[in-house]
Amino acid sequence: MSDALDILKDFPANTYAEWHEATLKLLKGKPYDKVMIKKTYEGIDIQPMYFQADMEKLDHIDALPGQAPYVRGTSAQGNLIETWKIAQEITTPDPEEFNEAAVNDLNRGQDALNIPFDKATSQGLNPDQAGADIVGIGGLSVASVNDLETALANIDITQLPILLHSGFSGAGMAALFSAYLTKQGKRIADVKGCLGVDPLGYLAKEGTLPISLEKAYDEMAQVVLWAKDNAPELKTACVHGEYYQYSGGSAVEEVAFGIAVAVEYIRAMQKRGVDIDTAANSIIFSFSIGGDLFMELAKFRAARMAWCKVAEAFGAGDEGQKMFIHGRTSTWNKTHVDPWVNMLRVSTEAFSAILGGVDSMHVGPFDEIFRQPNEFSRRIARNVQILLRDEGHLGRVVDPAGGSWYMENMTSELAEKIWPLFQEIEGKGGLFKALGQNFPQDKTAEIAAAKQKSIAVRKDVFVGTNMYPNLAEKKEEADDFDTIAFQKDRSRQLSAIQKGADLASLLDSVSSEKASINAAIVDNAAKAAVQGATLGELSAALRQGVDGNETINALNIHRGAEAFEKVRRATEAYIEKTGDAPKLFLANNGPVPKHKGRADFSTAFFNVAAFETIPNTGFDTPEEAADAALESGAKAVIITGTDDMYVKVVPVIAKKIKENNPEVMILLAGMPKDHIEAFKEAGVDEFVHIRSNAIDLLGKLQKHMGVI
């Protein structure tokens, strides 16, 4: 490089006004706002460029990592001293098989134990008390200390953090874990992690709560006070904000509703004599990690900012103002069609979560949405985190996004969107009352509808599902899990438990203490568990004589690609039944350069539904194209070419085909606005273009071709 080069002189800075003027010239009359500004589902306008002046309006910009409002993380060292925890879920339902998977994974890089329980356990029911349809579904089946001894054999849970997803009540599970540790000769005080009680999350997801919310809060307070006295490093509530994202909500809804849940828990705890610092420190937040890398990164930063403001308003100290975040890669954007792409999706999601400063993370195996992950899929998912940490060296930096004009502005704007929604929930009397009014359900459904519209026109892309399909793909089958046989086996194991002589009196003591808000009830329950009390027996004792339940409209938890998967599966079923794929004839006009673009677009469009197209190199005359289409026997024909040739060729092709076989559906590649009506009169039935609603059009085609 020449010594004479002067950067400032030879490359003078340009002002925003100069850049904007040059951009308008390049747009040649196209609207700047539509072309250059990206509008998000959060209601944020993403600008094409950000400038240093944009930072002047940000209040948080001077805060360092570890300083309030904790936008840049809750620790000054970030991941330098201790990295985020690799907390992969292990959902194997059988305790013995769970242990095999857990020992394997913990010996191969996982450093936190993340245990979802099956639906029966989450309800506090034994396998023989619950319906077979919920036993073994969703996670580990636990009903006794014996089950924990089997599931945790050769695992020292005092040496690694745990995250238990305990459903709407943690009292019974706290007692089982305390009893398990007593029998192992270990101290519950040495256990770190979270017991994971979340009654409002359970209610929002399932639509019902088997006990009254006030009773659930009583049990929550009892567990909080027990942990304060006996397990000071064990948090007891896990707010599952991801349910609002799984039902279609944006980052704004997920964080605002999540914080509203935590606020309701704090108020319920304070009402029951729990001090603010104990209540605030008992809570962790579980958020999804979606596919928008920068928005998700900003979400975690904005969530910490918002929580700091809320906890400070309650009078919580510094530790209570720090949000502990567990990140979980989203299920909303995962697909059963071409599920291998899920491996790639979770890679970018994990990257954004780490840069956003999560404290622990689960990266979903590619097949978790449709079957029990096996050793292979668990290993690939686990290694995503290990690779980013050990090969990507993301543990060697502290808030690498900090100071980015783009990221800091997005973080601030997102926090500004979260706050008024949170205040609106407060105005409705809190999250529970808002759920009763269908507010969160309607809000997430509104965003979900906007997303589905974009998915249908393929503005939002699911690689391999609504774009770039793989027709050679063989469907990955779900497991054939025999719930009835599993329930029988678990019930048999339960019947073999030996009961202590003092069990009855200990269960009576639990029942007599159920109305007391103190730590004694969990201590008594733990003593009963040592004597052989099961989870179901403990739950019955805790709730003896207590009536009431809660019912709301559950969140509509779903996946974004489901409509396209349904279309694809319908055609696959037709192919399996008939032995042949439904085909469309490509009526290509002119030489290859004239029709190739639209022919390729059309082929890809119909491949999404597993349709095949009959190709050719093009026809010299429209009559030849029509004759070839009729000769092919195809039930549908797609005309391709350029707009300037359509005026001459489309009426000829369409009329000739319809005159000879009116049952043939004729589609035109493109949307020549000036000739739509004329082409329809000539016989064109549908138009295929970049704004087509693919779900609707492919569905019509399936009906026409006898697929459905």
pLDDT digits (tens, 9 = 90+) for 59-70: 999 999 999 999
User: Which helix H or strand E contains 588, and what residues bound it?
Assistant: strand 583-588
Alpha-carbon distance 63 to 204, whole Å?
A: 36
Q: What are φ and ψ of residue 410, in 5° steps?
A: -65, -40
Domains and CATH numbers, the chain: 85-395+422-476 (3.20.20.240), 573-704 (3.40.50.280)
pLDDT in tens, 120-141: 999 999 999 999 999 999 999 9
Using 50 as the pLDDT threshold, list the residues of the chain that sit under it.
Answer: 1
Classify the phi-psi angles of 390: left when phi > 0, otherwise alpha if psi is within -120 to 50, otherwise beta.
Answer: alpha
> Is the distance from CB of 576 to CB of 266 less than 8 angstroms?
no
> What pLDDT, on a 0 to 100 scale, did the predictor assign at position 496?
87
* Whole-number pLDDT of residue 459: 96
Predicted confidence at residue 2, as pLDDT, reads: 55
Q: Name beta bridge partners: 14.
A: none
Cβ atoms < 10 Å from Cβ of 579: 7
pLDDT for 547: 83
The pTM score is 0.95
Q: What pLDDT, on a 0 to 100 scale, did the predictor assign at position 24?
A: 93
Token couple for 255: 């964080």
Write down the pLDDT at residue 540.
Answer: 93
Query: How far apart (Å, rounded) are the C-alpha atoms in residues 618 and 620?
Result: 7
Residues in the chain: 708
pLDDT score at 517: 85
Residue 15, pLDDT score? 83
Which secondary-structure segment (H or E) carries 162?
Answer: strand 162-165
Structure tokens at 208: 């019902």
Residues in a beta bridge with 485: none
Instruction: Tell me if 285 sits within 8 A of 325, measured CB to CB.
Output: yes
Q: Are 263 and 220 in contact (CB under 8 A)?
A: no
* In contact, 490 and 136? CB cutoff 8 Å: yes
Instruction: Tokens 């025999």: give the residue.
Output: 482
Please give the Cα distance from 179 to 48 (Å, whole number). Answer: 58
- The pair of three-digit structure tokens given for residue 213, joined into one six-digit string: 């919310």
